[in-house]
Structure 1
Amino acid sequence: MPTLINDLIAANGHRTALVDKRGRSSWPELGSRVHRWMGVLAAEGLGRGDQVACVLGNRRETFEILLACLHRGITVVPVNWHLTEPEIAYLITDSECRGLIVEEPYAQVSGRAAARAPGEVPTQLVLGDRDVPGFRAVEPLLAAADPAEPAEQCCGSTMLYTSGTTGAPKGVVNGMFVVGAPFTRVAKLLEYARVVLDVPANERFLLDGPWYHSSQLFLALLALLRGCTLHIQERFDPEATLAVIDAEHISAAHLVPTQLVRLLRLPEHVRRGFSGASLRRVWHGGGPCPPDVKRAMIDWWGPVFLEYYGATEGGVVSLINSHDWLRRPGSVGRAVPPYELMVVDEEGVPVPAGVSGRVFVRRLTGRTFEYHKAPEKTRAVHLAADKFTYGELGHLDEAGFLYLDGRAQDLIVTGGVNVYPTEVEAVLLAHPAVRDAAVIGVPDHEFGEHVVAVIEPVLPEPVDLFALLDPHCRRSLAGFKTPRAYHVVAALPRDTSGKLRKDALRRAIAPPAPDDPDAVLERTSSAEPVP
């Protein structure tokens, strides 16, 4: 049996391990499929030290492949299925992949990407039972593979690429799974997940976001390896999320703030029909959550939320439960072991509690992470070998709870005064006419920069946003923080994890805003979303 799930197979009999829209797999069925996948990979000459790129949707086969690679010393490179041909080619090239596994809808663009990569990708497989140009169907290969336990098993790994909001995406090499490490190391990881992150065992976990994002992937994988039944939603639909939680008695899930907002905007009768009695914990992160949204979700679902601060590079470094958050609204929690949080000034000197600065994390056990083939980028985010930053600005209170003020690269300096976009965005999002909002700095010949808001309105009809939102903002914000101009867009550029692509906004809003404080810059609500 696959080493990492052999006890689960033995203990759980025919209990369900994986569920997607196509069906269900028991633990023994999952074990057999993992064995067969290991056999196929071995027959292709893929093993310890190799990389395999996966352009796959949320489905059971994705986790079969993950487990197979984790037992053959292979590093899985998850690929966002929305990427273009050159973007996929970059990931294949940079990671030096020798294998490419795709779903049929992504085969054409992935095949062209592999063809333009300078190195050969000898193994190209497609899910299903029929070949497509450039790819061999995997189901006939699996059917012919030996379902018995392979003689040799070796721990594999994953390498996720950052979203690339500044420069090219960077492959992250962290210590969660280590190629060639003993499987007992994974057992320690699972115990850490239980004690520190509250990942449950033998419950029902909902994957309701793209598996290729680190938080979705690792929480779902850790839950599965702790014996949870993993319910895999193909894509997020707020009403369907409520239905599956109640119908499948889901006890644990991960969501991002954008999903919380969309859940809250469901019709009242739909919300009233949701029980949620089975829910015990819902992790959320991946971006700032407006306090009003968080409070409304706690009022609706109860104190089941665990908010974290983390990133692909170093994982979760702080946590806060609902009870602590209600006492400290806006906080993302205190450091979890083995981390220590610190806030420093531009010279790297720690600042007192309550003073904003750059947020750094110290890993008390030493070595942190590195970017694949990018030592200069690794150095740029480290103060020392054990001290790194995710790029945020923030402050600590006297009890060590962290509050994020925004990303360092997004800080607006107007007239020599700092403006944190997240603060302004939270005020804008509180207005009922605003569906989504982003705040950026625009060059200003007098003040250096001034504050501009980009608004996705609730209603498509054009409105005078300045007249509507300026008095609203001035009731909560100092004058220098209040937007001096507004753009209207059909949809803000967010990726599938809910992260806002402010780089795309800055490119789209190239001309400086006029200096007239009464000017309103508009794009029609029927315009295409900012790319």
Structure 2
Amino acid sequence: MHPYRHAEATPDKPAIIVAETGQAISYAELNARSNQAAQLYRAQGLRPGDKLAFFLENTPDYFALVWGAQRSGLLFVCVSSKLTAPEIDYILADSGAKLLVAGASLAKVAEAITAEVTRYSHGGPIGGYEPVEPTLDAQPATPIVDECAGSAMLYSSGTTGRPKGVLRPPPEDPAVDHVVPLAVLANMFFGLGPDTVYLSTAPLYHAAPLGWTMCVHILGGTVVLMHHFEPEAALANIERYRCNAGQFVPTHFVRMLKLPDDVRSRYDVSSMKSAIHAAAPCPVPVKQAMIDWWGLVIDEYYAGTEGNGFTAIKASEWLQRPGSVGRAIGEATLHICDEEGNEVPPRTEGMVFFNPPRSFEYHNDPAKTAESRNKHGWSTLGDVGWVDEDGYLFLTDRKSFMIISGGVNIYPQEIENHLVTHPAVADVAVVGAPHDEMGEQVVAVIQPVPGVETGAALADELTAFCRQSLSGVKTPRRFDFVEELPRHATGKLYKRLIRDRYWGKESRIV
């Protein structure tokens, strides 16, 4: 159901709680404010199919602005708060957005944007922007007369190149309360529903946090919104609000697991029934440790912004198949194919493809769209993996990150999954660097745990640690230490930036 139906049935129920302050926004308030947002968009001349953009940090008003766009038939572009003005200009121009709402906390960047768009500020003044709050206040809190369903048009995080606008087919049903497949999966597989108290730990501009929190609103639950993730704060919020669901990425798990034992044991997390994780494959020892700590509630899925397919696995299934990201659920079928697009037998590695009933395209980039398809028309996100005889998918790595050393194909993920379990390692990226004889050599870039002394002794220790479980060809030939790895706020690693430094290329996060 659409949130407006929950506003009718349970108007006083909290739709949103701000984790840090306890501020609650009811379904009635969310519905009224989203109506005002829709009225504003129409007053500014936006019509179904038009685009608008949001450049905001996490705020409860994010939901009113987005739901207002959804019920106006608009395509909403949620822009990363980490981008620079030129990068945002590129996205605004590429998408064709006609209106921008920017947060005052991002004023310095917002003021440098040059794109020709109608500009509103949120949360305070920005030079050249009109404050959005009083403008919204002046709008009727009633539905617009021509309500119809809009949707997100999100840009990839740019981990492997310039961001791509993902344009998915519009819903077949134009009604604002049409059936949303992800909400159906959230209810049937993960058990989300009206009793859900969902901890949102990541930026709302990203596909997964935005999509899952909107599903919680469709299902009538409550979203507990964190401004940003901190490991101990996440535990405290689970206890304080009795959260029974939430979304995490493996980096979140690692950071929580590396808290001191007395901190971890300080908080009651027994209310959690479904801790959903994705964004990157989770190292087997890390997930096992989370299951040992939280119980059989660590659920996982594999999907992308493109929405071309979905696999999922419950913790109890995972224990029987450690490392799997589950079987395909929903309408799309899963295939593993060779370089020619031919399907390969179980336990044979290949590219992961899905055959969805309705597919996506990359906005303004037919070449990239074509590259994502094989001869059958099936689409891929660029990941490599294999399935077992029962159809459970095991991811190997992204094809673009594969290292070829002396003619041997090496996937960094396995090495990273092992190294991150070392007590001195807070984060790790493994890349291929040029080598005169072997073509490429394996390099591990390590972010150490605070207080750990880096240098040759630690490199020797990590080399020995790798040789305990990895073959010689997979053991890094070089260890470099950095203060912090460049990660997207959702946990994705900007590995392209790291790799390019070794190959003498200039690279930026876009």
Shift of 1:197: 5.0
Q: 1:436-451 alignment to 2 at 5 Å?
A: 436-451=427-442
Task: Select 1:345's aligned residue among 338, 345, 356.
Answer: 338
One-letter amino acid of the structure 1 residue matched with residue 121 of structure 2: V
Other-structure match for 1:139 = 133
Shift of 1:47: 2.5
One-letter amino acid of the structure 2 residue matched with residue 171 of structure 1: G
| CA deviation vs aligned residue, 1:431-487 (integer Å, no higher than 9, x gap) | 222221111112222222221111112234233233212222112111111111111
SS in 2 for 1:439: strand
Other-structure match for 1:324 = 317
| CA deviation vs aligned residue, 1:208-265 (integer Å, no higher than 9, x gap) | 1001111111011101111011111100011111111111111110000101111111
Q: Does 1:463 find its partner at 2:461?
A: no
Other-structure match for 1:171 = 165
Task: Select 1:381's aligned residue among 369, 372, 382.
Answer: 372
Counterpart Cα distance in 2 of 1:446 and 1:81: 42
Distance 1:419 1:312, change over 3 A: same
Q: 1:220-299 alignment to 2 at 5 Å?
A: 220-299=213-292
Other-structure match for 2:75 = 75
Distance 1:191 1:397, change over 3 A: closer
Higher relative contact order (CA 8 A, sep 6+): 2
Q: 1:491-510 alignment to 2 at 5 Å?
A: 491-510=484-503
Q: Does 1:414 find its partner at 2:408?
A: no
Counterpart Cα distance in 1 of 2:37 and 2:163: 29
Other-structure match for 2:394 = 403
Identity of aligned residues (%): 38
Task: Select 1:156's aligned residue among 114, 135, 150.
Answer: 150
- Equivalent pair of 1:451/1:485 in contact (CA under 8 Å): yes
Shift of 1:340: 1.9
TM-score, length-normalised on structure 2?
Answer: 0.94
Distance 1:357 1:446, change over 3 A: same
Shift of 1:195: 2.4
Q: Does 1:370 find its partner at 2:355?
A: no
Counterpart Cα distance in 2 of 1:124 and 1:197: 39
SS in 2 for 1:124: strand
Other-structure match for 2:59 = 59
Counterpart Cα distance in 2 of 1:184 and 1:71: 9
Counterpart Cα distance in 2 of 1:241 and 1:357: 37
Counterpart Cα distance in 2 of 1:167 and 1:488: 24
Shift of 1:386: 4.3
Mean alpha-carbon deviation: is it higher for 19-28 or for 100-109?
A: 19-28
Other-structure match for 2:93 = 93
Other-structure match for 2:40 = 40
Shift of 1:266: 1.3
Distance 1:178 1:125, change over 3 A: farther
- CA root-mean-square deviation: 2.1
One-letter amino acid of the structure 2 residue matched with residue 476 of structure 1: S
SS in 1 for 2:2: helix
- In the alignment, structure 1 segments of 5+ residues that lack a partner are 513-529
TM-score, length-normalised on structure 1?
Answer: 0.90
Other-structure match for 1:515 = none
Shift of 1:69: 0.5
One-letter amino acid of the structure 2 residue matched with residue 87 of structure 1: E
Other-structure match for 2:31 = 31
Mean alpha-carbon deviation: is it higher for 287-296 or for 459-468?
A: 459-468
Counterpart Cα distance in 1 of 2:470 and 2:160: 29
SS in 2 for 1:153: coil
SS in 1 for 2:312: strand
Mean alpha-carbon deviation: is it higher for 380-389 or for 72-81?
A: 380-389
One-letter amino acid of the structure 1 residue matched with residue 502 of structure 2: I
Shift of 1:179: 9.1
Counterpart Cα distance in 1 of 2:148 and 2:490: 31
Counterpart Cα distance in 2 of 1:453 and 1:340: 36
Other-structure match for 1:488 = 481
Shift of 1:192: 4.4
Other-structure match for 1:7 = 5
Shift of 1:166: 3.0
- Equivalent pair of 1:48/1:180 in contact (CA under 8 Å): no
Other-structure match for 1:393 = 384
Query: Number of residue pairs matched?
Result: 504
Other-structure match for 1:519 = none
Counterpart Cα distance in 1 of 2:179 and 2:112: 36
Counterpart Cα distance in 2 of 1:109 and 1:140: 23
Shift of 1:143: 2.1
- Equivalent pair of 2:39/2:143 in contact (CA under 8 Å): no
Other-structure match for 1:525 = none
| CA deviation vs aligned residue, 1:88-115 (integer Å, no higher than 9, x gap) | 00011000111000111223422322x2
- Equivalent pair of 1:196/1:337 in contact (CA under 8 Å): no
Counterpart Cα distance in 1 of 2:266 and 2:125: 45
| CA deviation vs aligned residue, 1:245-300 (integer Å, no higher than 9, x gap) | 11111111000010111111112112112211211101101012111110010011
Other-structure match for 2:297 = 304
Q: Does 1:19 find its partner at 2:17?
A: yes
Distance 1:480 1:51, change over 3 A: same
Distance 1:191 1:406, change over 3 A: closer
Shift of 1:350: 1.8
SS in 2 for 1:453: strand
Counterpart Cα distance in 2 of 1:276 and 1:207: 15
- In the alignment, structure 2 segments of 5+ residues that lack a partner are none
| CA deviation vs aligned residue, 1:130-177 (integer Å, no higher than 9, x gap) | 5432111122112221123332212111111011233321000124x5
Superposed structure 1 runs of 4+ greater than 6 Å apart:
none
Counterpart Cα distance in 2 of 1:135 and 1:419: 50
Counterpart Cα distance in 2 of 1:381 and 1:407: 13
- Equivalent pair of 2:276/2:301 in contact (CA under 8 Å): yes
Distance 1:189 1:303, change over 3 A: closer
Distance 1:142 1:149, change over 3 A: same
